[in-house]
Amino acid sequence: MKKESMEQKLERIHTAAILLIENRDINKISIYDISREAGIASSTIYHHYPKVEAIFEHLMTTVFKDFDNVLHNAIIPSKVHSWPDINRMIESAFIDFYRKNKLVQKLLLSQHIFTSIRHADLENDTRLGVIVDSIYREYFDIPQQPPHINIFTVSLQLADRVYSLDYRKLGDISDEMAEEAIRATEAYLSLYLPHFIKNKN
């Protein structure tokens, strides 16, 4: 019988962790739970991940790459007439992604004890804010922004807060709160962006 490679073992560990996260309370998942689910000795898992939080952090790297794809595919150029159109497209794309991905719901919207995941998410929001800024500038001449913040980063975090409140209450994102997130982000961005900005195209 062919010996299982290290990459295959890691894949089994990650798959087991995802399955458990999707179906259980994330705060109650242990290395030993993942060991049983994956059929791999806990000592092998500990060799690669000193604690369960480290496994979750690794899974987040894939989620962050998925976020890039969400942004890349969010915009329909022919439907961009004003900057709120971009805001709505981006938030609608994230809402759709969250609703289809239980792993992301549990890691980013649920209430849990893993502070490193929260920190990584905030850092990634900073990176995404730069991407969103470039999307807006592709279509519009954006006015000079405050030097101390990226308004698009704050907008993303504001929307996530609204989604999180609804998810913790209902276990889902309702249509009503999805719309509230879009309204809230548009209202925030309108503090810095004039309602009418000439479209470059």
Token pair of 177, please? 């709160």
Q: What is the pLDDT of residue 5?
A: 85
Segment holding 165, helix H or strand E: helix 151-170
Q: Please tell me the predicted confidence (pLDDT) of residue 2.
A: 63
DSSP 108: I
Q: Sign (positive/negative) of CA torsion 146, 150, 152, 158?
A: negative
The sign of the dihedral angle between the CA atoms of 16, 21, 25, 28 is positive
Report d(CA 8, CA 44) in Å as an integer. Answer: 13
Question: Under a CB-based contact definition with an 8 Å cutoff, are residues 94 and 159 in contact?
Answer: yes
Position 84 scores a pLDDT of 98
C-alpha closest to that of 87 among 19, 165, 181: 181
Question: ∠ CA 86-91-93 to the nearest 5 degrees?
Answer: 95
* Residue 3: predicted pLDDT: 75
Please give the average pLDDT of every successive group of 10 residues along the chain, which has 201 residues. Answer: 80 97 96 97 95 96 95 96 97 97 95 92 96 97 92 98 94 95 98 90 76
Q: What is the pLDDT of residue 201?
A: 76
- Report pLDDT for 199: 86
Task: Please tell me the pTM assigned to this model.
Answer: 0.91
Element (H, E) at 73: helix 52-74
**What's the rounded Cα separation, in Å, for the pair 145 and 5?**
50
The rounded percent of the chain whose pLDDT value lies above 70 is 99
User: The tokens of 199 are what?
Assistant: 């479209």
CA distances from 175 to 59, 95, 96, 163, 181 (A): 28, 9, 11, 10, 10
